[in-house]
């Protein structure tokens, strides 16, 4: 049994066999059904047949390449066959089959894991660059053992915990939800879009584990605790029992919270907070309403761009927005204009930028591609005739950008009016506060916009100069940093002075520890992954606004993020330990 600590980004406990993406990409059954020397013998023979087929395949490739390209490349494949035929490796695999009731594929996976770890330990560029090759050789052998029907996520027949180096947001969005009960990755940070999607999809997830792909073999039993950020490899029977009981308690606690669905998010002294949901796709709306969302506070429209739809048209936008409006049946919908770039790439935009988070992302990219921006704006205005929507502009860093965006919007409105298209020309236009310059100069922006929505995911990253997706600096990504609280406070105060709406839609809004200070700071609207709404409502209904304000006064006197975090954690523990 081994413990690994990463960053818990989506709560819940998953217990299942591991499926390794990237290297193996096949489903591995760890143990043979039949016992006894006969069964063992058959398994060794099966391995030998698989090995022969894999070596044959490598030789065929090598010969073909020699004819087409010559010796230099073909010798690489001869080298691959030599690795497969290595006596020590072969003996190790056979030994594992004989000693442990392992299936051939599990023995292969375990033996190759040992080889890969040896290569990694060399800390040498030559060996590091060979790792991919070793993975490729292993994968070919496994496919001969398991067959194509066992390869890839599509063919999974029972639930697994997915283990990967990294997952892109679009890979995450298309995971087969009924087969993937959790995922763990080497890379990633607390508010990467992959992490956010996991939460929206309700898949327990741990990221930033650094080396989980080398710590687990396909078929190993793993426990993944998304709340505590922990992965346990090959847990013993007591630990399994303990976690199954823990999972049951969590399920029952969550069921209890569901009863809060129709009661208001109101503090004990009568202050109402509006709770909304963040979505990536309109089809998430029914589940969000089921959790008690009063509307959609952030629709991340850039997810319309995906592998299946690289260039959505105005009609594609319109269809998505009208279906969202229909689902919401009169509840508000805040449509954020395209926030493409950084970790949400357009395929055609996958050109290299040295610092993509500081590059042509979001509103900056929209100004580069006015055609895309206008197509989206036309669709939003056409949809505005169908129900209440507002527009939210991302990554505004200066008044000039806000004015420029408004002038493009004005052009679109006039074009539509000239064409006699039915629209609501007066919909609210708000801006996100997710760059320090916007928070510091919030008083200037507040005079020119109808509402603010504070995007703490980016605000934390840009304030503390910490890449939100990078596990190496994840420990420095500290939302409780005094600078972050001061910036939120400045933005909220500016909004209050100008009497405009102010919401907070970063992941912080759904983190129990931060709910009290956020409402104490004056955020009367919180928008979050819908799965968090019941827990957040529970916290709000357990405190008074007076207490929340006192807590804010107290944390403004603390100078260290860790001190603030443990203070806030303790407050939540006093309300209900199960919330943490």
Distance CA 447, CA 463 (A): 23
Tell me the Cα Rg of the chain.
27
Distance CA 98, CA 36 (A): 10
506: partner contacted, choices Mg ion, ligand PEP, none (Cβ within 5-8 A by kind): ligand PEP
**Between residue 190 and residue 229, which ones bind ligand PEP under the rule CB under 6 A?**
196
State which residue, 468 or 571, has the beta carbon closest to ligand PEP: 468
User: Of 186, 434, 471, 525, which lies in the binding site for ligand PEP, with binding defined by CB under 6 A?
Assistant: 434
Using rule CB under 5 A, residue 434 touches Mg ion:
yes
Whether 204 contacts 224, CB under 8 Å: yes
Strand partners, 161: 18, 182
User: Of 17, 458, 507, 525, which lies in the binding site for Mg ion, with binding defined by CB under 5 A?
Assistant: 458
Tokens for 80, please give them: 């691959």
**Between residue 85 and residue 124, which ones bind ligand PEP under the rule CB under 6 A?**
none
Whether 333 contacts 295, CB under 8 Å: yes
x/- binding map, residues 494-533, to ligand PEP, per CB under 6 A?
-----------xx---------------------------
| Contact window for ligand PEP (CB under 6 A) among 112-120, 305-313, 455-463, 516-524 | 455-463
User: Of 401, 458, 511, 525, which lies in the binding site for ligand PEP, with binding defined by CB under 6 A?
Assistant: 458
Using rule CB under 6 A, residue 455 touches ligand PEP:
yes
Report which residue's Cβ sits closest to ligand PEP: 455
**431 included as an active-site residue:** no
State which residue, 159 or 356, has the beta carbon closest to ligand PEP: 356
Distance CA 414, CA 295 (A): 29
505: partner contacted, choices Mg ion, ligand PEP, none (Cβ within 5-8 A by kind): ligand PEP
| Contact window for Mg ion (CB under 5 A) among 80-88, 427-435, 476-484, 531-539 | 427-435
Tokens for 333, please give them: 């919908």
**523 included as an active-site residue:** no
Using rule CB under 6 A, residue 456 touches ligand PEP:
yes
- 193, 366, 431, 523: the catalytic one is 193
Total interface residues for Mg ion by CB under 5 A: 3
**Between residue 263 and residue 292, which ones bind ligand PEP under the rule CB under 6 A?**
none
Using rule CB under 6 A, residue 436 touches ligand PEP:
no
Q: How far is CA 420 from CA 101, 382, 414, 541, in A?
A: 74, 11, 10, 48
Helices (H), 259-345: 285-290, 314-328
x/- binding map, residues 328-357, to ligand PEP, per CB under 6 A?
-----------x------------------
Tally of CB atoms within 10 A around 365: 21
575 burial (CB, 10 Å; 0-12 / 13-18 / 19+) is middle
Least CB distance to ligand PEP at residue 510 (A): 11
468: partner contacted, choices Mg ion, ligand PEP, none (Cβ within 5-8 A by kind): none
State which residue, 220 or 339, has the beta carbon closest to ligand PEP: 339
Least CB distance to Mg ion at residue 122 (A): 40
Using rule CB under 5 A, residue 467 touches Mg ion:
no
Total interface residues for ligand PEP by CB under 6 A: 11
Distance CA 26, CA 140 (A): 10
Using rule CB under 5 A, residue 455 touches Mg ion:
yes
* Residue 396 DSSP SS3: coil
Q: How far is CA 533 from CA 246, 265, 278, 381, 528, in A?
A: 21, 10, 11, 29, 7
Least CB distance to Mg ion at residue 460 (A): 10
State which residue, 50 or 506, has the beta carbon closest to Mg ion: 506
Tokens for 411, please give them: 């052009």
Q: Which of 31, 18, 29 is nearest to 102 (CA)?
A: 31
Strand 160-164, strand 13-20: pairing: parallel
Using rule CB under 6 A, residue 479 touches ligand PEP:
no
Using rule CB under 6 A, residue 138 touches ligand PEP:
no
Distance CA 561, CA 475 (A): 11
Strand 180-185, strand 2-5: pairing: unpaired
State which residue, 391 or 423, has the beta carbon closest to Mg ion: 391
Using rule CB under 6 A, residue 457 touches ligand PEP:
yes
Strand partners, 274: 525
Q: In this structure, what is the dihedral angle of CA atoms 480, 483, 486, 487, given to the nearest 10 degrees?
A: -100
Strand 180-185, strand 274-279: pairing: unpaired
Tokens for 172, please give them: 């995450």
Using rule CB under 5 A, residue 507 touches Mg ion:
no
* Residue 547 DSSP SS3: helix
Least CB distance to Mg ion at residue 164 (A): 24
| Contact window for Mg ion (CB under 5 A) among 131-139, 441-449, 458-466, 570-578 | 458-466
Q: Which of 175, 194, 178 is nearest to 186 (CA)?
A: 194
334: partner contacted, choices ligand PEP, Mg ion, none (Cβ within 5-8 A by kind): none
Contacts of 432 (CB under 8 A, 6+ apart): 336, 392, 393, 394, 395, 396, 438, 452, 453, 454, 455, 505
- 40, 431, 505, 523: the catalytic one is 505
Distance CA 341, CA 356 (A): 7
| Contact window for ligand PEP (CB under 6 A) among 149-157, 416-424, 439-447, 456-464 | 456-464
State which residue, 8 or 135, has the beta carbon closest to ligand PEP: 8
**Between residue 226 and residue 245, which ones bind ligand PEP under the rule CB under 6 A?**
none
Give catalytic residue positions. Answer: 193, 505
Write out the residues near ligand PEP by the rule CB under 6 A: 196, 298, 300, 339, 434, 455-458, 505-506
The site for Mg ion (CB under 5 A) is made up of 434, 455, 458
């Amino acid at each position: 049994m081994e413990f690994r600590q990463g960053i818990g980004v989506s709560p819940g406990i998953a217990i299942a066999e591991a499926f390794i993406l990237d290297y193996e990409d096949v489903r591995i059954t760890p143990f043979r059904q039949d016992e006894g020397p006969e069964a063992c013998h058959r398994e060794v023979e099966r391995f030998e047949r698989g090995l022969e087929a894999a070596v044959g395949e490598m030789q065929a490739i090598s010969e073909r390449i020699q004819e087409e390209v010559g010796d230099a490349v073909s010798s690489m494949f001869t080298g691959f066959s030599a690795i497969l035929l290595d006596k020590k490796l072969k003996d190790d695999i056979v030994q594992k089959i004989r000693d442990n009731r392992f299936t051939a594929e599990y023995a292969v996976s375990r033996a190759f894991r040992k080889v890969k770890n040896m290569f990694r330990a060399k800390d040498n560029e030559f060996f590091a660059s060979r790792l991919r090759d070793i993975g490729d050789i292993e994968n070919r052998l496994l496919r001969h053992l398991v067959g194509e029907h066992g390869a890839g996520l599509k063919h999974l027949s029972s639930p697994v915990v997915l283990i990967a180096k990294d997952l892109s947001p679009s890979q995450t969005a298309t995971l087969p939800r009924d087969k993937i009960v959790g995922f763990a990755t080497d890379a990633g940070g607390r508010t990467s879009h992959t992490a956010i999607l996991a939460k929206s999809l309700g898949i327990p997830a741990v990221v930033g584990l650094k080396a989980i792909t080398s710590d687990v073999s396909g078929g190993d039993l793993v426990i993944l605790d998304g709340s505590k950020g922990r992965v346990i490899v090959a847990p013993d029977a007591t630990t399994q029992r303990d976690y199954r009981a823990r999972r049951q308690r969590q399920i029952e606690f969550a069921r209890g919270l569901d009863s809060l669905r129709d009661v208001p998010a109101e503090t004990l002294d009568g202050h109402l907070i509006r709770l909304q949901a963040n979505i990536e796709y309109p089809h998430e709306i029914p589940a969000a309403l089921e959790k008690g969302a009063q509307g959609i506070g952030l629709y991340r429209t850039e997810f319309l761009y995906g592998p299946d739809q690289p260039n959505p048209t105005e009609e594609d936008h319109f269809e998505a927005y009208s279906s969202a409006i229909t689902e919401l049946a009169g509840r508000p919908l805040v449509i954020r204009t395209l926030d493409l770039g950084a970790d949400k790439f357009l395929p055609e935009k996958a050109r290299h930028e040295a610092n993509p988070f500081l590059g042509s992302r979001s509103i900056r990219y929209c100004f580069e591609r006015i055609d895309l921006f206008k197509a989206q704006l036309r669709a939003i205005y056409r949809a505005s005739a169908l129900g209440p929507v507002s527009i939210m502009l991302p990554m505004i860093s200066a008044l000039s950008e806000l004015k420029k965006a408004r002038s493009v919007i004005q052009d679109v409105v006039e074009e539509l009016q000239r064409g006699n298209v039915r629209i609501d020309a007066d919909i609210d236009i708000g801006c996100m506060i997710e760059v320090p310059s916007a928070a510091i100069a919030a008083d200037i922006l507040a005079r020119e916009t109808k509402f603010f929505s504070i995007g703490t995911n980016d605000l934390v990253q840009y304030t503390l100069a910490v890449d939100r997706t990078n596990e190496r600096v994840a420990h420095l990504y500290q939302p409780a940093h005094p600078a972050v609280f001061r910036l939120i406070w400045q933005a909220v105060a500016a909004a209050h002075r100008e009497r405009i709406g102010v919401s907070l839609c970063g992941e912080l809004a759904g983190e129990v520890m931060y709910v009290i200070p956020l409402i104490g700071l004056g955020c009367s609207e919180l928008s979050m992954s819908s799965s968090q709404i019941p827990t957040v409502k529970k916290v709000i209904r357990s405190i008074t606004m007076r207490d929340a304000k006192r807590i804010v006064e107290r944390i403004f006197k603390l100078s260290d993020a860790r001190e603030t975090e443990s203070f806030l954690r303790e407050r939540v523990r006093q309300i209900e330990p199960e919330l943490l």
